[in-house]
Amino acid sequence: MTRGYRAIYARYRQNILAGVLKPGDKVPSIRVLAEELNVARKTVEAAYAVLVGEGYLISQGAKGTRVNPDLTLAAARPDVAPVSDDAGLNQFLDLRDGAGYLRLGIPALDAFPTKKWLLLAGKAVRSLRPTEMTNPPVMGYTPLREAIASYVNISRGLNCTADQVLITSGYRSNLMLILQALGVKSDKVVFEDPGYFFGQRLLKRFATSLHYVPVDRHGIDVDYLLRHHADARVAIVTPSHHSPLAVTLSLPRKHQLLEWAAANQSWIVEDDYDGEFHYTRKVLPALKSLDTQDRVIYMGTFSKTVMPAIRVSYIVMPRAAMARFRETGEILEAGVPVLTQKILATFLGEGHFYKHLKKMRTLYARRRKMLLDALHIVYPGLFEVELSDGGMHIVAFLRTSTRDAELASIWQSHHLQVSALSGWYCLCDKRYGLVMSYTNIVSTEQAVALISGPRAQTLALLT
């Protein structure tokens, strides 16, 4: 047995055991592999013969050689055991990237005006000028910045100009750019607890002095912030519709938070990720609309209102820090493709965006009721839901159990992309339940059918 033979045999065996090559996968022919490795055919033949003899490969004549389809392998054992924090990250990554129902952050794709979008896309392509085919402007396409400024001033109560709007490629870009522009790497940063999971992960990497402030039924506990973290340089909050508890920051706490920022020359980052969706006549203005000292940095996104794939978000920069944001943007931002920005600018400028939002508010109110009715039908008395004025998700709190992580795993095995509320917390004082979206529910009957799948396992776990 030659050394080359052993090397080929060992390489294939390792890849099969590690799951890189899976049962049924085709492997290269003897001739092709011999040419690729620059070895004699007999060397490859010998390696394949042993692999076939041990049951790793199976020869199918003219159909070639494959990994044995009947091969059953134990789960691969990693060299280093993953830490529990990474396990939590993997769960959220699976939910974000996998297919399933009740998935967070996905708008009602069945109700999106696709035909209108395609017409606008064709118009944008035909009107594309040579000057627009070079590098996209770092601060963003001017007509889109103008359209966004007009929108947030009218709908969210802001008072900004297009020069203050910076177009980015998403939440991560927003947060990274803000942290870099403010130069707060070693300064104290506070984040809500519970808080947006991927925001936590990002901040843990880039803010060396990260602390958490609890959230209750009235939003972030500003008294707690003043007692323990009054010296914080930045507070990152979701005041319109907290992620994930879905509560709204009370007006007294809004003023208290703004007074703290002004007195300490601190910054408030307002993440208004789904503030457009309110279901009553009472429209809650953004925290930024109350900011008379220009201490709030407002950030919004079109992922929830248009589609996640568009990857367009924006920051409304404070006037005093615009130069720093521009300089940082030149370094960090590659710019969002102009063609995408042109389509979106027309979508806003011609009024289609406003019509779409109005339609979605009515639709989401109906779909939320469908999911709530289904929960009551399938699991009477098991969950408690504290309704907010709007948003795109609910939290089904467990009345008597703390086993939401196990429950979430059960529901996920039925292709329901819910998450355990406890996994969004960093402090010890937790609440327990399932976080789930209703935006793509189409009927109460569908919702009942979906959540009935894990009913037996749910009741066995919790009762």
Q: Convert the pLDDT of each residue in 195-251 to its tens digit.
A: 998 899 889 888 889 999 999 999 999 999 999 999 999 999 999 999 999 999 999
pLDDT of residue 83: 39
**Average per-residue pLDDT for the chain:** 88
DSSP 171: H
pLDDT of residue 192: 96
Q: How far apart are CA 298 and CA 170, in angstroms?
A: 13
pLDDT of residue 1: 41
Asked whether 177 and 375 are in contact (CB, 8 A), the reply is: no
Lowest model confidence (mean pLDDT) among 86-90, 106-110, 318-322, 387-391: 86-90
DSSP 278: B
Tens digit of each residue's pLDDT (9 = 90 or more) over 254-267: 999 999 999 999 99
Q: How far apart are CA 120 and CA 8, in angstroms?
A: 55
Q: How far apart are CA 14 and CA 18, in angstroms?
A: 6
Q: How far apart are CA 170 and CA 308, in angstroms?
A: 9
Tens digit of each residue's pLDDT (9 = 90 or more) over 102-142: 999 999 999 999 999 999 999 999 988 888 787 788 899 99
Q: 194: cis peptide before it, omega within 30°?
A: yes
The encoded tokens of residue 411 equal 């529901």
Q: Which amino acid is at 57?
A: L
Tokens 């209108």 sit on residue:
116
Average pLDDT over residues 296-321: 94
Q: How far apart are CA 360 and CA 350, in angstroms?
A: 18
Q: Looking at the whole model, is its pTM more than 0.85?
A: no
Q: Is 366 helix (H, G, I), strand (E, B) or coil?
A: helix
Domains and CATH numbers, the chain: 3-67 (1.10.10.10), 84-109+355-462 (3.90.1150.10), 113-350 (3.40.640.10)
pLDDT of residue 261: 97
pLDDT of residue 81: 33
Tens digit of each residue's pLDDT (9 = 90 or more) over 410-451: 999 999 999 999 999 998 889 999 999 999 999 999 999 999
What is the b/e burial string over 93-105, where b = at least 16 CB atoms within 10 angstroms of the residue's CB? eebbeeeebbbbb
Report whether pLDDT(297) > 50. Answer: yes
Report whether pLDDT(333) > 90. Answer: no
Average pLDDT over residues 156-167: 94
- Helix 30-37 to helix 41-53 angle (10° resolution) is 120
Tens digit of each residue's pLDDT (9 = 90 or more) over 39-96: 888 888 888 888 887 788 888 877 789 888 887 765 443 333 333 455 455 555 555 5
Q: Which amino acid is at 70?
A: D
Report whether pLDDT(377) > 50. Answer: yes
Listed in sequence order, the residues at least 6 apart from 65 whose beta carbon sits closer than 8 Å to its beta carbon are: 26, 27, 29, 48, 52, 57, 58, 59
